Structure 1
Amino acid sequence: MIQRRSQLIIVWFFVCDILATSIAWLAAYQVRFETGWIPLVSNPNENDTLFSHIPWVLFTAAVAYHFTDQYKINRMRRMREEAFCSIKGTFFLVLLLLAVDFFRKDLSGSRAMVSLFGAFNVFTIFFVRQINWKLIRDFRSRGYDQSFAIIVGTGRVARKMATLLKTNSWLGIKNVGYVEDQVSTFSKDLDIMGKFEDLPNLIAQYSVSHVFIALPMNRYDEVRNVYEILADTFVDVRLAADIPDLAGMALSTVDVDGMPLISLKENPHFGLNVMFKRGMDIILSLVGFVLISPLLVCIAVLIKLTSRGPVFYTQERCGLNGKSFQMLKFRSMKMDAENASGAVWAAKNDDRRTILGTFLRKTSIDELPQLINVLRGEMSLVGPRPERPVFIDKFRKTIPNYMARHTVKAGITGWAQVHGWRGNTSLRKRLQYDLYYITHWTPWMDVRILWMTIFNGMIHRNAY
């Protein structure tokens, strides 16, 4: 039944992709030949019409999408993977179309049109697939299109895996129970269905499609034993790693002469990516300054009118590679606020704040001068929030892998902040989100974080 549903989903995705490709081709034709925006080198062939090339374009698309593995159903597929898939399929399609055009030569100016088509097709394919996945995930969240899973183990990782499946109902994966050879008194509240050797029968009995092995690392021999037991079954087997300090890292594997190597700190922030991110920072910061300059002037005047002292406040923070810099903020605290308390985080109802400072901190407007830090190259628009050296010296001793967040520039906003991990919240959770950002960075991710910051993240209950 599940296999049949998967086949129907594949067919539906294929039909939608063909429709999206048709729309992209028609849009490219209109822009190339009907708008006059791109001059024609020669007159088009009189046999060329809007629909004359659609059949062979769609046939070529079907071939390209098939050979680039566009239709592998994966319930855990992420948006960036979908975007890469769309680009890969379109790139191969454009190459095939250019090859076909080399022999046909029956569409005047077709190379320009094929280039336009490629750009349109990436957008339409990605857009249509996102709509489809949104509908499917909403459908699964309501209890439809469910597949079943068994979790191997009953410890901390197994419980965490069960919670993950329950809270992420859009995956459409329902845990039917656990199997374990070493049952303890701490696992009596769990639905233990049997032992490892019972897995094949349980898989057949409950139509299980997924098995999650969630055993501690010191039971490696048993992990291998479970894998051997599952060798004759046709289920999706995944290993839930018992390595909490690596949470958020983009683990990847490479085989070197039969030896699998796992990359723990593969960082996308290098080479052209760094240059591209820096270019984005400069352009968006300059545009931002122009747009909000009236607000900045108003805030500066209000600060001078409501409290004594300077408009701006500088504080030593650590950024890329742990290098310190002076971070700018609108002053929101009274003069000499830390003389008595020393270096401490701001607290709720902090009496050190000025009258205007409460509003500035609650709305995060006090952070806007950091656009100057971005233009200086000391910060980025998006990245882990910079911390004070006095706190870093303490955190690096108590929180494993804390210094990994300094492998990129600090940001005005970040992945942790837009998910609510700001202010006096869990440092470990914040680090987990920072590491996820560092290892999964894309330009699109920066745009997404900026969007979430403007419309969702500036005012937050933990901002004080």
Structure 2
Amino acid sequence: MYRKDSEGWLKHTDFIILDMICLQLAYVLAYAISGYGFNPYETIIYRNMAVFLELADLVMIFAYGTMKSVLKRGYYRDFVVTLNHAIMVGALAVLYLFLLQQGQDFSRLTLMLTIIIYLVMTYIVRELWKKLLRKQMKDGGERKLLIVTSEDVAEQVVLSMQENNYARFSLAGVAVVDADWTGREIHGVPVVANEETAAMYVCQEWIDEVLVVVSEVLPYPAELIEQLSETGVTIHLNLAKITSVPGKKQFVEKVGDYTVLTTSINYASTRQLMLKRLMDIAGGLVGCIFTGIICIFIGPAIYIASPGPIFFAQERVGKNGKKFKMYKFRSMYMDAEERKAELMKDNKLGDGKMFKLDFDPRVIGNKILPDGTHKTGIGDFIRRTSLDEFPQFFNVLRGVGGIIEPTEKKLDFTGFSLA
């Protein structure tokens, strides 16, 4: 039976355990350097902090994604990630002491030294552990892997597996399906079979798994794959071979009863979406409170200058063409849309796809005086200060918008083209 590798941060349990050990050692050393001895667990406040630090460490590993791609990170990138992680753990510890009102009873020096020692120690231990794992990757593991490929990508595939052998395969050999290279070597890995002899080789030799990666212009060797399946070995097919899209993110998932390769510009995990939604709710609540306060002053001014609703609603196009109602403080007169046609001749955006004037008389309070000078009013003020945008926080709270998002377009906007 095939053992599926752990996914996400769970596959880096070794790094997580080492990180937690380093944090406790740093805590003990910091306690000792502060002059309190080598047992921080003898008093309840320090014992509780020891437990909280580990919980804070786990929370940040999950929320910040500290262990994501840890094996692929270079020295500088890993240090930056470790530094940010250590600072956040320290910040959570400070917040913990503040909320429990124990700041006066806990040594600030001990906490500061803990974070500094932890940063240095966990970074060094992590790099040493990565060095050991990379050596094991190079040496290979117990699982024997046969690479089935084509001649034009054979060197690239073998080299890629040697450099990214995170599953620690032992590369048993290569089978080239569109040429007879038997007897040759590719980066030290022997070519042991061709398309006709590969299945027999798997039957006669110790092979646990087979990786199939062939050229973009060649079809999969379907007959060979069927023969290999009958031998009982695990087969890995390179799904992105025929659907690779440059610059896009791809991952395998289930849609109904189908296993599919999904391609997207980018994607967010459930954790990331949850954190974003929590941020939007918090920001939306604060924004709605400010909107109410601003409305007390702006609302009457709008109504006096231009009797009618103080809010303006317009249907906009959002993500993937989804339509929704956008709300703003009304900054234009009630007949603004009717007057637009007569002002089209002054449109600064000559393509007609969007509309903009240097001085728009439809804005509440805007007037052209007899001497030609321009007079502005409440409408221009709330536009210049962006106060008219505050009601959009209601959309943020409803979940149809976000604090950080691209600008939504009007329904009549036609400026996008695939040409």
Q: The TM-score by the shorter chain falls in which range?
A: 0.3 to 0.5
Higher relative contact order (CA 8 A, sep 6+): 1
Per residue, is there more helix in 1 or in 2?
1
- The structure number with the bigger radius of gyration is 2
TM-score, normalising length from structure 2? 0.39
